Every structure is written in C-alpha cells, then in structure tokens.
Amino acid sequence: MTQTQDMPPPAEDRSEDSSGAQEERFPRAAAARRALLEAAIPEAAFEGWNEATLARAGDIAGLSPGEIELYCPGGVLDLLETWSRQGDAAARARIEAEGPPNRIRDKVSRAVMIRLEQYEGEEDAAVRARARLLLPDALDRGARLLWATSDTLWRAIGDTSTDGNFYSKRAILSGVYASTLAIWLDEHDPEKPKTRAFLDRRISNVMQIEKAKAQWRKTTSGLPDLTALAARLRYGPGRRS
C-alpha cells in the first residue's frame, strides 16, 4: 500500500481541503470513510455519535480497529466531517444544475433548503450529530464545517466577492443556516412550512440590515473619518512626510 493512497492527511489539513480533492489524493481513505459513514448513520440515530458507534460501523464495514484509526484519526468527528462535506458537495451540484432564481434572497433561501434536504430520512442521526458538534472538544471542528457549508452555498449561487463582503456574507449565512437547521430538524411536516417561514424571516432581517448599512455608507460618504479624527485628537497628528 502506498502512502498517497492510504494515509489520510492530518485533520487540520483535511479541513481546508475540498472533499473532491481529498478523494482524488487519498482514494482508499475516502472510500473507507464513506463505508464507515454509511454503516454509522443508522447506528448513530439510536446510539449517538461516539466511539462505540464508530467501532460498530467498522465491524459492519469490515474494517479492523487499526484501519479505523488510520482512516479516522480524529475518531467519530472525522465521520461527521465526511458527512457534512458530502452534503455540501451534493447540495452545490443540485443548486448549480437547477440554476438559481433571480433575486438574491430567493437564491439564498433556496440554497439553504437544498442543503438541509440532504439530511432527509436521516434526521435522527443529524440531530445527534448536531449535539455532538456542540460538545467542547468539537466546537472548533463544528465552526469550520459550518463556515465551509456557508462558503459552498455562496459559491453555488455565484458569489464572487473577494473583499470584506466575502467574510461578512459567510458569517451571516452561517448564523442563518445554523438556526434554521435546528428548526428543520425539529419539524416533522415533510413540507417544512415552519422552517420556510423562519428562514424567510431571518433572510428578511439580514436584508434589512444590509439595506441600512448601505444607506449609512451613502449618507456618511461625504463626512470626515471620525475614527481617524479621534485618533489624531488623542495621539496628535503624527509625522508629516
């Protein structure tokens, strides 16, 4: 066996990689994690995402304890990352294939719902996954996966921003997605009317904030830079060239 095919990169390196790039670079590891994930989801729906579930998934997938440790050095959290990134990839493919609506708020709303729908039929395991990622040892991983989901959705609807908007858009959508996910998982109606209404309200709030920010920038564009003025009053005008 070669290292290129079988040795997964450290968790901190994998978190920055796209799922497609990982599978190309480490095909055997990616296949093993997919097999473990497929076996773990039904178990986790009842037992939660823990090491016992991972061991049971290994037995079902025909992988030894050593192989599990090799392919999932981060334990069950590596399976949750695999699941999240698979959902991101599937959602992006569907969003791009169907073509987005015209209005930005409709694009975002549709993208979020498509991403949530990746958990259809696996809601119980997803509830437990969300709970596991809220534990102290998983908070960093959960935050990075949430950011990755937000980034994927923005890219899927054609966002090309590179300035400060790049970060603000993803931070805002991360909050919208996380809160909407909680409603989606708790709603049993397959049409998800409460989720859709909640998401619409959240996006409306965001759009109002963005509109207010744009109006503020327009109104204050001709005014002095108050921050710079305050700095000069406190520290002096500084050295002149």
In tens digits, the chain (241 residues) has pLDDT values of: 444 445 554 444 444 444 555 566 789 999 999 999 999 999 999 999 999 999 999 999 999 999 999 999 999 999 999 999 999 999 999 999 997 678 889 999 999 999 999 999 999 999 999 999 999 999 999 999 999 999 999 999 999 988 888 999 999 999 999 999 999 999 999 999 999 999 999 998 887 755 555 554 555 555 555 555 555 565 665 554 4
- Residues with Cβ within 8 Å of residue 33, at least 6 apart in sequence: 8, 71, 72, 78, 79, 82
Are 8 and 71 contacting, i.e. CB atoms less than 8 angstroms apart? yes
Report residue 203 CA to chain centroid gap: 17
pLDDT tens by residue, 191-231:
999 999 999 999 988 877 555 555 545 555 555 555 555 55
Gap between the terminal Cα atoms of the chain: 64
Residue type, 14: R
